Amino acid sequence: MVTSLHDWALTASEAIALQRKLAPRVILDDRLDDVRTIAGVDIGFEAAGEITRAAVVVLAWPSLECLEQHVHREPTRMPYVPGLLSFREVPAALSAFDMLQRRPELVMVDGQGIAHPRRLGVAAHLGLWLDLPTIGIAKSRLCGHYGEVPEARGEWTPLTHRGDTIGAVLRTRENVKPVFVSPGHRLGLPTAVDWVVRCLGRTKLPEPTRLADRLASRRGRVG
DNA sequence: GCGACAG
DNA sequence: ATCTTGTCGC
């Protein structure tokens, strides 16, 4: 079994085998403790991709006040391969988490949760490693099919793949493309959608992910 | 064999 | 993801 992230498989077939082995460990029952803080995670790149930049923020619930924000930078080791994103981003995300003074009760990640060909998107993978509830919020689809989403804020349609409901295509703002929400770890789809809606401000993305996104792409910090 | 393809 | 200015709309 893999004990260190730096021992992660480097070939595509090994990585896929590991995903198939880990996916069954993902828990979709709600096991959220009382939520007092919510973290947001996102990864950006510098120097034409040479440097990986992991950002993590922690917001208080329900005030959504930013309590912590950290950035971890390291040389990029893996290329982007659709379906294997977690191998590229999770190691850096974990290092950023090590900088936190608190352990959040919920984590929102930029990317898919179980809405993945092998049910192990970056949010699910990170949740497994952190042993914390995680939700994946992606700006576009990786796999699965869905119907047209009603225009009203908060409306959503199921995202299905090979007979499974793997996520929700959620309208977070009117006249704006919907986001793809999927459970990462330790919670189910209704709960995941619920938390995303509860963390919405006036923008398309929920606050945790929006702020982490800013930090990761160097567009500034939070007040 | 031919597309599709998170960030 | 990232490279990039102005511009349309609530």
Strand C bases with any atom < 7 A from protein Cβ: 1-3, 10
Annotated binding residues of A: 42, 110
Q: Give tens-digit pLDDT for A15-25.
A: 999 999 999 99
Q: Is the CB of A139 under 7 A from strand C?
A: yes
Whose C1' is closest to the CA of A140: which nucleotide? B6
Confidence of residue A12 (pLDDT cuts 50, 70, 90): confident
Beta strands A66-75; A106-110: pairing state: unpaired
Asked if A172 contacts A153 with a C-beta cutoff of 8 angstroms, the reply is yes
pLDDT at A201 > cutoff 70: yes
What's the whole-number average pLDDT of chain A? 94
Whose C1' is closest to the CA of A174: which nucleotide? C10
Q: Is residue A223 part of a domain?
A: no
Q: Is the CB of A217 under 7 A from strand C?
A: yes
**Domain span at residue A116?**
5-216
Q: Is residue A221 part of a domain?
A: no
- Calculate the angstrom distance between C1' of C5 and CA of A1: 51
Q: Give tens-digit pLDDT for A14-59.
A: 899 999 999 999 999 999 999 999 999 999 999 999 999 999 999 9
How many structural domains does chain A have? 1
Whose C1' is closest to the CA of A53: which nucleotide? C1
Report the CATH number at residue A40. Answer: 3.30.2170.10
Q: Is residue A27 part of a domain?
A: yes
- Calculate the angstrom distance between C1' of C4 and CA of A33: 44
Alpha helices (H) in chain A, listed in sequence order: 12-22, 85-98, 122-130, 189-198, 207-216
Q: Is residue A146 part of a domain?
A: yes
Q: Is residue A222 part of a domain?
A: no
- Calculate the angstrom distance between C1' of B5 and CA of A136: 18
Q: Give tens-digit pLDDT for A86-105.
A: 999 999 999 999 999 999 99
pLDDT at A3: 40
Question: What is the average per-residue pLDDT within A159-168?
Answer: 98
pLDDT at A7: 55
